[in-house]
Amino acid sequence: MLRRAAAPPPSNLLRAWTREMAKRAGQKAKRPQIDPTRGWVPIREKLEAVPLRLPGLQSLQVVFGRTGDGHTAARHFVRQHLAQFRYYNPDAEIFQRNSKAEERARVTVQLADSDPVEVDVTGLPHRSDVLRKVLEATKMGSADVDAAIAAAAAMREVTIDAMGYCGKTPVKTHGVRPRIVQPPPQKAAGQL
């Protein structure tokens, strides 16, 4: 008759691991601390930073190309201000369309009591210039336009410096150095 060999006794390491797992199983999971930079409050602060309430707005369509110098301001306008338009005008149809084939950047605004107005924003140097043209197309008062532009200028910019850093973190450029677009020089009042 064959005898069965007894199982070898567990090693000390295995015993320690088994004890540790039993302890962990009995403990409650630690609750993560609440992060005050997340949640509704910071999102609402950013959405309410620029007053863009347009009572007669029915639709706002932004069309731009994915690349190119002439489309940069339109892309930044969409990134910074389209959510604010949606927040202040929940009944309006607000959307964007971008493609590689687009040659012109344009914004189409339709108010309740008028025909659609198409604003060409190709080549504008800054997102606040696009915002100004859109608000002027909606026939908003000049004081309200200036207040909205001032609030938009006070918003924090997401910029890339000449060394390729966005704030303190390097930008992922996949080996291609970022191209920094300099604004055109301002002409003096007497020059043409």
Output the pLDDT for position 30: 61
Output the pLDDT for position 166: 47
Whole-number Å distance between alpha carbons of 32 and 5: 50
Q: Are 66 and 100 in contact (CB under 8 A)?
A: yes
Among all chains, which residue has been given the structure tokens 């149809």? Answer: 93
Output the pLDDT for position 170: 53
Whole-number Å distance between alpha carbons of 75 and 191: 31
Given a cut of 70, the residues of the chain with pLDDT beneath it are: 1-10, 27-39, 156-192
66: burial class by Cβ within 10 Å (0-12, 13-18, 19+)?
A: exposed
Among all chains, which residue has been given the structure tokens 């369509």? Answer: 61
Report which secondary-structure segment, H or E, holds 106. Answer: strand 106-111
Whole-number Å distance between alpha carbons of 100 and 82: 20
- The DSSP letter of residue 140 is -
Whole-number Å distance between alpha carbons of 44 and 122: 30
Report which secondary-structure segment, H or E, holds 94. Answer: strand 93-99
